[in-house]
Chains A and B, each alone.
Chain A
Amino acid sequence: MNPLPLNLLPPGADYAAVMPLLWAFAAAVLVLIAEMFWPYRSRRGVGWLTIAALLAIAVLGRAPSEAVYFGPIALDGFSGWCNGLLCLVAALSVLMSLDTLEVNGVTRGEYYPLLLFAVAGGMVMAAATDLVVMFLGLETMSMAVYVLAGMGKARRRSNEASLKYFLLGAFASAFMLYGIALLYSQAGSTDLAAMAGLAGEGGTSAVTRLGAALLLVGFGFKIAAVPFHLWAPDVYEGAPSPVTAFMATVVKAAAFAALLRSVLLAMPWVAGELQTPLWVAAAATMTVGNLAALRQRSLKRMLAFSSVAHTGYLAMAVVAGTSEAAAALLFYLAAYAAMNLGAFAVMMLLADRGRPAENISDLAGLGRARPLAALAMTVCMLSLTGIPPLGGFVAKVSLFGAVLDAGFYTLVVVAVLNSVLSAAYYLGVIRAMYFDDADSVAAGGASAASRVLPSRPALTVSILLAALAVVLIGLSPSPLLGSSLRALASVAGF
Chain B
Amino acid sequence: MPAVFLAAALPFVVSPILLLFRRPDRRAGLLSAAACAGAFACFVSVALGASPATVALPWIGPLGLSFSLHADPLALFFALLITGVGFLVAAFATSYLDSNENFPRFFSFLMLFTGSMLGVVLSSNLMALFVFWEMTSFSSFLLIGFWHHRERSRYGALKALVVTGSGGLAMLLGFIMVGIVCGSFEIAVLAERGALLAANPWATPAVLLIIAGVLTKSAQLPFHLWLPSAMEAPTPVSAFLHAATMVKAGLFMVARLGPLLSVVPLWTPTLALFGLLTMTWCGWLALRQKDLKALLAFSTVSQLGLILVLLAPAEPDTTAAGLLHLLNHACFKGALFLLVGVLEHELHTRDLSLMGPLRRNMPFTWLLIALAALSMAGVPPMGGFVSKELFLDHLLNGHPLLALLAVAGAVLTAAYCFALAAGLAAGRRPDGPRGQDPSLSLLLPPALLVAATVGLGIFPDQLVGAPVAAATLAATGSSVTGHFAVWHGAGPSLWTSAFAVSMGLALWWGWWQKRVPPASTLIADRVYDHALEQLETRARRLTASYMSGILWRYCSVILLTVIVGVAVVAASQGFVIQDGWSSRHAGPWDLAVCATAILAALATLKARTRLAAILALGASGFSLALMFALSAAPDLALTQIMVETISVPLFLAVFAFLPPYQVDRVRRARPLHAVLAVAAGLGTALLLAASRSQRVAEPISSFFVEKSVDAAGGHNVVNVILVDFRALDTLGEITVLGVAAIACYAIIKLLSEKEAGR
* Interface positions of A (Cβ within 8 A of B): 1-2, 4, 10, 18, 25, 32, 70-73, 107-108, 110, 113-114, 117, 120-121, 124, 132-133, 136-137, 139-140, 143-144, 146-147, 150-151, 153, 164, 167-168, 171-172, 175, 178, 182, 185-189, 191, 194, 197-198, 200, 205-211, 213-214, 217, 221, 227-228, 230-231, 233-234, 277, 291-292, 294-295, 382, 387-389, 393-394, 397-398, 400-401, 404-405, 409, 412-413, 416-417, 419-420, 423-424, 427, 431, 434-435, 438-439, 475, 477-478, 481-482, 485
Check B733 against A231 for contact (C-beta < 8 Å): no
* Nearest Cβ on chain A to B179's Cβ, whole angstroms: 9
Check A388 against B134 for contact (C-beta < 8 Å): yes
**Which B-chain residue is minimally distant from A164 (CB atoms)?**
B551
Q: Is B573 an interface residue (CB 8 A)?
A: yes
Check A110 against B169 for contact (C-beta < 8 Å): no
Taking CB atoms, residues of chain B closer than 8 Å to A401 are 63, 176
Taking CB atoms, residues of chain B closer than 8 Å to A189 are 697, 699-700
Check B575 against A206 for contact (C-beta < 8 Å): yes
- Of residues 428 to 443 in B, which have CB atoms within 8 Å of A's CB atoms? none
Interface string of B531-565 (1 = CB under 8 A from A): 00001101110110011010101110110011001
Check A394 against B746 for contact (C-beta < 8 Å): no
Check A206 against B570 for contact (C-beta < 8 Å): yes
**With A2-B713, A412-B173 known to touch, is A210 a contact of B687 (CB < 8 Å)?**
yes
- Of residues 100 to 144 in B, which have CB atoms within 8 Å of A's CB atoms? 127, 130-131, 134-135, 138, 141
* Nearest Cβ on chain A to B681's Cβ, whole angstroms: 12
A438 to B180 Cα, complex, angstroms: 48
Mark the stretch among B47-55, B363-371, B598-606, B735-743 that contacts chain A. B735-743
Check B543 against A291 for contact (C-beta < 8 Å): yes
**Which A-chain residue is minimally distant from B166 (CB atoms)?**
A420
Check A124 against B134 for contact (C-beta < 8 Å): no
Taking CB atoms, residues of chain A closer than 8 Å to B753 are 107-108, 153
Check B539 against A416 for contact (C-beta < 8 Å): no
Check A210 against B569 for contact (C-beta < 8 Å): yes
Q: List 18 A-B contacts (CB under 8 A).
A: A108-B746, A143-B736, A144-B743, A168-B554, A168-B558, A186-B694, A205-B694, A207-B687, A208-B694, A213-B562, A217-B558, A221-B558, A291-B539, A387-B138, A388-B134, A401-B63, A419-B169, A427-B161
Q: Is B690 an interface residue (CB 8 A)?
A: yes
A398 to B729 Cα, complex, angstroms: 37
Q: Is B62 an interface residue (CB 8 A)?
A: yes
* Nearest Cβ on chain A to B51's Cβ, whole angstroms: 25
Interface string of B619-634 (1 = CB under 8 A from A): 0000000000000000
B743 CB contact (under 8 Å) in A146, A153, A221: A146
A489 to B547 Cα, complex, angstroms: 41
Check B154 against A191 for contact (C-beta < 8 Å): no
Q: Is B638 an interface residue (CB 8 A)?
A: no
- Of residues 145 to 167 in B, which have CB atoms within 8 Å of A's CB atoms? 145, 148-149, 154, 158, 161-162, 165-166
A195 to B259 Cα, complex, angstroms: 52
A207 to B580 Cα, complex, angstroms: 14
A294 CB contact (under 8 Å) in B131, B539, B742, B747: B539
Check A207 against B134 for contact (C-beta < 8 Å): no
Check A481 against B694 for contact (C-beta < 8 Å): no
* Nearest Cβ on chain A to B34's Cβ, whole angstroms: 25
**With A108-B750, A151-B746 known to touch, is A394 a contact of B539 (CB < 8 Å)?**
no
Check A478 against B536 for contact (C-beta < 8 Å): no
**Which A-chain residue is minimally distant from B64 (CB atoms)?**
A401
Q: Is B574 an interface residue (CB 8 A)?
A: yes
* Nearest Cβ on chain B to A218's Cβ, whole angstroms: 11
Check A124 against B732 for contact (C-beta < 8 Å): yes
**Which A-chain residue is minimally distant from B170 (CB atoms)?**
A416
Taking CB atoms, residues of chain B closer than 8 Å to A110 are 742-743, 745-746, 749
**Which B-chain residue is minimally distant from A124 (CB atoms)?**
B732
Q: Is B566 an interface residue (CB 8 A)?
A: yes
Q: Is B61 an interface residue (CB 8 A)?
A: yes
* Nearest Cβ on chain A to B49's Cβ, whole angstroms: 31
**With A153-B753, A292-B539 known to touch, is A186 a contact of B732 (CB < 8 Å)?**
no
A63 to B557 Cα, complex, angstroms: 41
**Which A-chain residue is minimally distant from B562 (CB atoms)?**
A217
Check A291 against B542 for contact (C-beta < 8 Å): yes
A184 to B755 Cα, complex, angstroms: 48
7 nearest A-B pairs in the assembled complex, by CB-CB distance: A136-B732, A388-B131, A435-B148, A188-B699, A147-B743, A110-B746, A206-B573
Taking CB atoms, residues of chain B closer than 8 Å to A200 are 696
Q: Is B754 an interface residue (CB 8 A)?
A: yes
**With A136-B733, A387-B134 known to touch, is A416 a contact of B173 (CB < 8 Å)?**
yes
* Nearest Cβ on chain B to A194's Cβ, whole angstroms: 7
**Which A-chain residue is minimally distant from B162 (CB atoms)?**
A424
Q: Is B666 an interface residue (CB 8 A)?
A: no
Contacts A230-B547, A291-B535, A427-B161 supplied; 16 other A-B pairs, CB < 8 Å: A117-B739, A136-B729, A140-B736, A144-B743, A188-B699, A194-B697, A205-B696, A230-B546, A292-B543, A382-B138, A416-B172, A423-B161, A435-B145, A477-B59, A477-B60, A478-B60
Check B736 against A389 for contact (C-beta < 8 Å): no
Check A167 against B551 for contact (C-beta < 8 Å): yes
Taking CB atoms, residues of chain B closer than 8 Å to A1 are 713
Taking CB atoms, residues of chain B closer than 8 Å to A143 are 736, 739-740, 743
Taking CB atoms, residues of chain A closer than 8 Å to B695 are 185-186, 188
**With A182-B687, A233-B547, A388-B134 known to touch, is A228 a contact of B558 (CB < 8 Å)?**
yes
Taking CB atoms, residues of chain B closer than 8 Å to A221 are 558
- Of residues 695 to 711 in B, which have CB atoms within 8 Å of A's CB atoms? 695-701, 710-711
A439 to B173 Cα, complex, angstroms: 38
Q: Is B691 an interface residue (CB 8 A)?
A: yes
B750 CB contact (under 8 Å) in A139, A153, A194, A412: A153
Check B60 against A191 for contact (C-beta < 8 Å): no
Q: Is B692 an interface residue (CB 8 A)?
A: yes
Check B131 against A398 for contact (C-beta < 8 Å): no
- Of residues 188 to 214 in B, which have CB atoms within 8 Å of A's CB atoms? 202
B700 CB contact (under 8 Å) in A191, A227, A419: A191
**With A191-B700, A197-B697, A277-B565 known to touch, is A206 a contact of B176 (CB < 8 Å)?**
no
Check A186 against B691 for contact (C-beta < 8 Å): yes
Taking CB atoms, residues of chain B closer than 8 Å to A206 are 569-570, 573-575, 690, 694
**Which B-chain residue is minimally distant from A387 (CB atoms)?**
B134
A233 to B692 Cα, complex, angstroms: 40
